Amino acid sequence: MAKYSLDKNAFLKLKQKMGEGLFPQWVLTDPEIYDLEIEKIFARTWHFLGHESELKEPGSYVTRWIAHDPILLVKTVSGEFKAYLNSCTHRGSLLCAADYGKKKTFTCPYHGWSYNLDGELIGIVAGDKVYGEEMNKKQWGLRPVPKLGIYQGMIFANLDPGAESLEDYLGDMKWYLDMMMGRSDGGMEVKGVPQRWVVKANWKVTSENFAADPYHVQTTHRSTVEMGITPFNSKNKTSPGHQIVLGNGHGINIGGYLERPEHPYQRMPESMWPMFERNLTPEQADILCRASVLVGGIYPNLSFVSPMHGTEGDVHNYLNFRMWRPLGPEQVEVWCWFMIDKAAPEEYKEQAYRGYIGSFGPSGTLEQDDTEIWARVVQASKGIMVRDKELSYNNVSNYLMGYERVMPDESFPGPGRAYPAIFLDTLARSIHEYWFELMTKDDE
């Protein structure tokens, strides 16, 4: 693997500014920083590939990406999930070009080599004639992804064979994933296929936007409240919610957290409330009952939001997963999943899906708000002043909201460091600190 490095003095200055609650703007669009991120972050952390409900039957498959590595995720005849580099071992061609489907074998369109669901090479065109009987097909199967892990139906992969386990990497985030994805009988399911589109943005900006920046909602998404797409509750002014900082750059914001919510459990059907209380701990059920929105991220590039949205007067709850696949320092491919409780009434699922489409995805109002702003960040981060690595007022961004002023709420019932506000930069600073840790790890 190629080794990229930056001037150590630049990193020392970077660390100093970050310790002061500042973040240099030039790291967003710097090509050398991007190359280092691919090597030190995307090659070493756990990445979301999909959900078990997307591969219902043996032979089902989806094609996904870990940054620039194409991945083929399949469900074998035995029901096991396996992931391979989506590349033929003969000449390296992309093996499967379809987004999803169902097959017994995968045949390369270049020279016709074929593989079964277990990744074994089972067919070579004119094999005995061109290779002879000494060709050992067992040595030329598909290359498995070094590590695969599943939690609450979510399938993750890691390109680093020496990486810690998925459960250790998730840490205390598991408690909140259990609350969102394990609340109902049968868990969550993906409806439809993930929407995909490309935007002019940097992956760090998009990831931070969801995981750590509820502050932008008041301005960027003001129109959705005025149009009735996003509900507004005046009680939220006195219950700002909590921002929870977790390990490894993970975190979650719990909006509202009202003492007596007008609509418990984010407007999910009342018939489901006893099920939530049965499947969750009392602390999890209490948080879920009182929260208006749950939004956060699993580092480096998986975000989630459990909101209440609608387009026809009524609002509904759902879970939106989104993965930010970096295509370069100034471009991101967005992957967006709609998820809902399997146990929810079908009519509710359909209404929730309409609310999701109106809010998120390439045609959603919230999405269009965000993508316009992300493009403006890139547009303003490429010039001489911003790219000056001397690091002065001319090229740093302000992450001082709550800096050394807002202290953790020791009474909060969930794990992690919980701060009694969501308009806060504490989680964003934590994300940047973990970014810096990974970027400088193993340097001499």
Q: What is the C-alpha to C-alpha distance for residues 315 and 312, in angstroms, rounded to an integer? A: 8
Does residue 178 have an active-site annotation? no
Nearest CA-CA partner of 266 in 233, 218, 297: 233
308: CB partners within 8 A, 6+ apart: 230, 231, 263, 266, 267, 292, 293, 315, 316, 317
* Active site annotation includes 111: yes
Does residue 99 have an active-site annotation? no
Token pair listed for 54: 């997307």
Task: Please name the residues in contact with 282: beta carbons below 8 A apart, sequence gap of 6 or more.
Answer: none
Q: Is 68 a catalytic residue?
A: no
Annotated catalytic residue within 47, 370, 425, 432: 370
Nearest one of 253, 230, 250, 221 to 371, comparing CA atoms: 221
90, 221, 263, 286: the active-site residue: 221
Give the count of beta carbons closer than 10 Å to the beta carbon of residue 170. Answer: 23
Q: Are 425 and 401 in contact (CB under 8 A)?
A: yes
Pairing of strands 69-75, 81-85: antiparallel
Tokens representing 127 are 């094999």
Which of 90, 111, 178, 263 does the annotation list as catalytic? 111
Catalytic, 216? Answer yes
Structure tokens at 72: 């083929």
Rounded Cα distance between 47 and 77, Å, is 25
Active-site residue, selected from the candidate residues 30, 172, 213, 341: 213
The DSSP secondary structure of 266-320, one letter per residue, reads: GG--GGGHHHHHHHS-HHHHHHHHH-SEEEEEETTTEEEEE-EE-SSS--EE-EE
Rounded to 10 deg, the angle between the 282-290 and 173-181 helix axes is 70
- Report the catalytic residues: 111, 213, 216, 221, 370
